[in-house]
Amino acid sequence: MKNHGVMRNYYVLPCCLLLLNLCVELVSYKAKVVGDPYVRVLVIMGMVLVGGSLVGFVVAPAIAALVGTLHRSSRRSAGGLGEILFLVVLGAAVFWLYYRVYILGPASVLPVEWQNPVIRR
């Protein structure tokens, strides 16, 4: 069980923090539709507080529980292969999301209905 805590501290929690950073990028992107700068700041703060709470209290424990389950079952059946595969997939997914957001823009990871309207000048 000690390995589970190490895995959470050194891999799962940083991945969740990276995902939270991506959420902040998406919130900043969506907040651009709010015209008033004071209201925009309040919207960003509110959305980041909700997102941070969601990541801290729901996503991180869920990923940690999944890693714990994979760790126990993989140790019994296939050594550490299941856990390693999960961690590789998690890292690849976070990398892919970062690539899409920072190279192609935040709209590339959002459904079409959630994208900001194009403002033509």
Q: Which position has the token pair 């590339």?
A: 108
Question: Per-10-residue mean pLDDT for the chain, 121 residues long?
Answer: 59 78 86 89 87 80 74 65 75 90 91 79 50
In terms of residue numbers, what domain contains 36?
A: 2-114
Number of folded domains in the chain? 1
Asked if residue 40 belongs to a domain, the reply is yes
121 part of a folded domain: no
Residue 61 lies in a domain: yes
> Is position 120 within any domain?
no
Contact 15, 94 (CB under 8 A): yes
State the amino acid at position 11 in one-letter form: Y
Instruction: State residue 42's pLDDT score.
Output: 92
Q: Is residue 56 part of a domain?
A: yes
pLDDT value at position 1? Answer: 46
Q: Please state the pTM of the whole predicted model.
A: 0.69
- Which residue type occupies 98? Y
